[in-house]
């Protein structure tokens, strides 16, 4: 294990050498926050190429749900690889059908479900949008400010957590209108209940003045907004949105790419509010690190797709399906409940920290999807963007991998298998990082 002195000189020599080679041949568009060069991972621990150990509280952007290289997941992948590597979604195989059965049995949507298997979050969103347009024959969509749904031309039309994601790419898919996501800490609209305020805005302003409700195919929303700042909506919001959709024959799409598969302490985040969508998108934590996305829809909707309406080459990859089957088993049996319990402990500890540090404006989240919003002062709630970036850098030097979200929110999205001792260790490192960041350069 490395010493504090080693960490001062991060990145180490091997990391520097690899980054120098990489710079010549890899796009600079990846938003890399700090120079972590991975060598190995086990559970919630990772090591860089110079042998430094880190606690991973970002899990590869919320992907390594069962921890790095969970033995049962690795075993499942190896067994699948011994059978065959690929056949494509134009054919059948046991693991693919089994995955669809397992997902359908979890009741992700209203009534019986069917799935379409793909490789990523953005591809699952594209599939959901195409399905909604196809079955309703309607051209428009509503999305939410602060939402993140991917970077291909359909999903990008909705993505709005940072303007840089859109910059230089217009026009994306036409027909998308954004409305505010209810933000309890930073209310945008008048009214004590921001959920109701947003619903009223859609119904009484948008539908009356600009967007004919009968032209809207679907509303795409993250049940708990991720990249936009880890915003937990008010309790009234999702059920109100469900009712609004039902009134107007609009489909409700929940993007659970980040919040799904046990992340929030339930299999799907929407279960916290007892609201089911017509279509759900999944990816990230679904296969513990292998690339897999799903469009899950009510069977009666999916059945409207004619042969050839949508498809892909790699969908249903047997290694990815095997990883997902093992992941689902672990999450269902242990890790969703663990995320709920350890997440509550973590939230409690962060709230104590909030009392100590004036710069922590808000702490929020569910399960192990937790945000800590940093502000320059608590009165004005001015986002402390530079402080947030500095905390990430110092946390890296303290041996803790973190991500940010929103304008100045530190996000915690560790593997779902962590226990309290991981949280305690992370908090020690976080406090040192906060101290260093507040002390300035």
Please tell me whether residue 222 binds ligand PLP under the rule CB under 6 A.
Answer: yes
- Pairwise CA distance, residues 108 & 440, whole Å: 47
DSSP-assigned letter for residue 212: -
- Taking the complex as a whole, the smallest distance from the CB of residue 63 to ligand PLP amounts, in Å, to 8
* Near ligand PLP in 266-325, by CB under 6 A: 283
CB of 103 or CB of 128, closer to ligand PLP: 128
Name, in order, each residue with C-beta under 8 angstroms of 124's C-beta and a sequence gap of 6 or more.
118, 257, 281, 282, 283, 293, 294, 295
Cis peptide bond N-terminal to 171, omega within 30:
yes
- Pairwise CA distance, residues 382 & 338, whole Å: 34
Please tell me whether residue 227 binds ligand PLP under the rule CB under 6 A.
Answer: yes
Please tell me whether residue 366 binds ligand PLP under the rule CB under 6 A.
Answer: no
Please tell me whether residue 176 binds ligand PLP under the rule CB under 6 A.
Answer: no
- Taking the complex as a whole, the smallest distance from the CB of residue 281 to ligand PLP amounts, in Å, to 7
Please tell me whether residue 148 binds ligand PLP under the rule CB under 6 A.
Answer: yes
- Taking the complex as a whole, the smallest distance from the CB of residue 293 to ligand PLP amounts, in Å, to 7
The window from 19-27, 253-261, 264-272, 349-357 that contacts ligand PLP (CB under 6 A) reads 253-261
Name, in order, each residue with C-beta under 8 angstroms of 281's C-beta and a sequence gap of 6 or more.
121, 124, 125, 127, 128, 253, 254, 255, 256, 257, 293, 294, 295, 296
- Taking the complex as a whole, the smallest distance from the CB of residue 180 to ligand PLP amounts, in Å, to 17
Residue 107 backbone class (left: φ over 0; alpha: ψ -120 to 50; beta: rest): left
Please tell me whether residue 263 binds ligand PLP under the rule CB under 6 A.
Answer: no
- Pairwise CA distance, residues 145 & 156, whole Å: 12
**Nearest residue (beta carbon) to ligand PLP:** 121
CB of 30 or CB of 91, closer to ligand PLP: 30
Among 120, 183, 194, 404, interactor with ligand PLP by CB under 6 A:
120
Catalogue the long-range contacts made by 78-82 (C-beta closer than 8 Å, 24 or more residues apart).
79/322, 80/318, 80/319, 80/321, 80/322, 81/319
Among 114, 183, 194, 258, interactor with ligand PLP by CB under 6 A:
258
- Pairwise CA distance, residues 359 & 356, whole Å: 9
- Taking the complex as a whole, the smallest distance from the CB of residue 62 to ligand PLP amounts, in Å, to 7
The window from 211-219, 220-228, 319-327, 410-418 that contacts ligand PLP (CB under 6 A) reads 220-228
- Cα–chain center distance at 179: 20
Please tell me whether residue 160 binds ligand PLP under the rule CB under 6 A.
Answer: no
Please tell me whether residue 255 binds ligand PLP under the rule CB under 6 A.
Answer: yes
- Pairwise CA distance, residues 384 & 116, whole Å: 41
Binding site for ligand PLP (CB under 6 A): 61, 120-122, 125, 148-150, 222, 226-227, 255, 257-258, 283
């Amino acid at each position: 294990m490395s010493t504090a002195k080693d960490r001062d000189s991060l990145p180490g020599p091997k990391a520097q050498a690899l980054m120098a080679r990489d710079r010549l041949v890899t796009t600079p568009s990846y938003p890399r926050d700090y120079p972590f060069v991975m060598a190995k991972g086990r559970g919630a621990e990772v090591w860089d190429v110079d042998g430094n150990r880190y606690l991973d509280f970002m899990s590869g952007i919320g992907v390594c749900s069962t921890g790095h290289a969970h033995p049962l997941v690795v075993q499942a992948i190896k067994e699948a690889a011994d059978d065959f590597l690929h056949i494509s979604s134009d054919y059948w195989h046991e693991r693919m059908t089994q995955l669809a059965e397992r997902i359908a049995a979890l009741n992700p949507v209203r009534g019986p479900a069917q799935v379409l298997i793909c490789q990523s979050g953005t591809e699952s969103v594209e599939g959901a949008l195409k399905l909604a347009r196809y079955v309703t024959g309607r051209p428009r969509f509503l999305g939410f400010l602060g939402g993140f749904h991917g970077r291909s031309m359909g999903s990008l039309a909705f993505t709005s957590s940072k303007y840089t994601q859109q910059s230089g790419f217009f026009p994306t898919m036409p027909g998308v209108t954004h409305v505010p996501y209810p933000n309890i800490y930073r209310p945008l609209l008048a009214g004590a209940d921001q959920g109701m305020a947003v619903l009223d805005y859609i119904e009484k302003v948008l539908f009356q003045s600009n967007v004919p409700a009968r032209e809207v195919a679907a509303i795409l929303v993250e049940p708990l907004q991720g990249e936009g700042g880890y915003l937990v909506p008010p309790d009234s919001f999702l059920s109100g949105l469900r009712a609004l959709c039902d009134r107007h024959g609009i489909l409700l799409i929940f993007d659970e790419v980040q919040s799904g598969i046990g992340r929030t302490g339930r299999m799907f985040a929407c279960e916290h509010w007892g609201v089911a969508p017509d279509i759900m998108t999944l990816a990230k934590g679904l296969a513990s690190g292998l690339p897999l996305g799903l469009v899950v829809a009510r069977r009666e909707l999916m059945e409207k797709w004619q042969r050839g309406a949508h498809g892909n080459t790699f969908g249903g990859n047997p290694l990815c399906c095997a990883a997902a089957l093992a992941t689902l088993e672990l999450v269902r049996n242990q890790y969703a409940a663990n995320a709920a319990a350890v997440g509550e402990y973590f939230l409690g500890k962060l709230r104590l920290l909030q009392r100590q540090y004036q710069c922590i404006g808000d702490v929020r989240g569910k399960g192990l999807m937790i945000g800590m919003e940093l502000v320059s002062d608590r009165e004005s709630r001015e986002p402390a963007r530079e402080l947030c970036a500095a905390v990430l850098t110092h946390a890296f030097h303290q041996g803790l991998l973190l991500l940010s979200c929103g304008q100045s929110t530190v996000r915690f999205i560790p593997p779902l298998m962590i226990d309290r001792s991981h949280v305690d260790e992370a908090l020690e490192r976080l406090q040192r990082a906060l101290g260093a960041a507040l002390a300035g350069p």
